[in-house]
Structure 1
Amino acid sequence: MTNQQSLPGDPEPGHDPRRQGEDLAALLERLLARVPERTQKELAAEAGIPYPTLNAWVNRTRGTSRIDPEKLRAMVEVFRHWGVRTTPKEFFEAVGRPVPGPSEDEREARLLKLYRQLPEARQRALLKDAEAMVQVSRIG
């Protein structure tokens, strides 16, 4: 039998109004409670996050606003692998950031192809623009 994040009758992940405003520490505590046989150390190891870093997020002694989006996605995948239903949206909202659009291989390949066609100076400018867009999306 697999563990489930939600109990019968619970709303879908990310749709429970009682969970709005839940920070990362509360989210991790709630999800880890669904798999009591698992530990923070296992989550950190499987998600590729140093345990002291994960533990600091759980204890709210380290900020979460600059967490690499791939680390958030990695934690989602670990919980899913453990049988816990969760979404990237829950994790991004928990750190106060908008959810990035889905990653599509075709779209990424097209962007890379266009990037490679640009002269070096334009490539640098494009990277600066993209970094600025990411920063603005974190603020807004």
Structure 2
Amino acid sequence: MTTGPSNPGDHPVRAAEDPAPTGEDLAALLARLLEEAGDRSQKELAEAAGVKYPTLNAWMNRTRGTSRINPDDLRAIGNVMRQWGVEVTPRQLMEASGRPIPGPTDQEREQRLLEIYRLLPRRAQRTLIETAEVMLGAPRGSV
């Protein structure tokens, strides 16, 4: 499935780019991520992410619904996982919890811009930088 951009700077997202297995709920996703993090514990994750342990445990045991999870808690969990060296996107966490999926994060947009920049020939890279500087009103030649 491919979705088109909805905001300037957004880029199409293909399902093949999402490493989470289809239908993986939050409990399964978190269990897999904890295992990938070197068998970290739920308590370690809860403490590092600033989420109450009983709440995280209830999500993982499927005794508490996930559709009302605060998106900031999901982002905090994702940040901790990335600090632990585990790749996970905000999109994966949102999808797994049944939350509405927000647009790309600043980090995802910056990564996409960097990918595009690296694909350009050197001359086009300079032009892109000059264009960005003009857009900012910055003095030319700072590159």
TM-score, normalization: structure 2? 0.59
Q: Does the Cα contact within 8 Å between 2:42 and 2:56 map onto a contact in 1?
A: yes
- Cα separation, partners in 2 of 1:103 and 1:79, compared to 1, 3 Å: closer
- Cα separation, partners in 2 of 1:103 and 1:87, compared to 1, 3 Å: closer
Cα distance per residue 1:49-78 (max 9 Å; x no partner): 000000000000000000000000000000
**Equivalent residues in 2 for 1:26-65, closer than 5 Å:** 26-65=28-67
Query: Which residue, 68, 71, 74 being the options, matches 1:72?
Result: 74
Measure the CA separation in 1 of the matches of 2:105 and 2:38: 32
Measure the CA separation in 2 of the matches of 1:32 and 1:99: 22
> What number of residue pairs does the alignment pair up?
91
Unpaired runs of 5+ residues, structure 1, are 1-10, 105-140
Unpaired runs of 5+ residues, structure 2, are 1-15, 107-143
**Equivalent residues in 2 for 1:6-25, closer than 5 Å:** 12=17, 14-15=18-19, 19-25=21-27
Of structures 1 and 2, the one with the larger relative CO (CA 8 A, separation 6+) is 1
- Cα separation, partners in 2 of 1:103 and 1:85, compared to 1, 3 Å: closer
* More moved, 62-71 vs 92-101: 92-101
Query: Which residue, 84, 97, 113 being the options, matches 2:86?
Result: 84
Identity of aligned residues (%): 60
CA RMSD of aligned residues (A): 1.7
* 1:97 to partner: Cα distance: 2.2
Measure the CA separation in 2 of the matches of 1:89 and 1:103: 9
Cα distance per residue 1:80-137 (max 9 Å; x no partner): 0000011001100001123212466xxxxxxxxxxxxxxxxxxxxxxxxxxxxxxxxx
Q: What amino acid does structure 1 have at the position aligned with 2:98? A: G
Q: Does the Cα contact within 8 Å between 2:67 and 2:99 map onto a contact in 1?
A: yes
TM-score, normalization: structure 1? 0.60
Measure the CA separation in 2 of the matches of 1:25 and 1:69: 16
- Cα separation, partners in 2 of 1:68 and 1:33, compared to 1, 3 Å: same
**4+ long deviations beyond 3 Å:** none
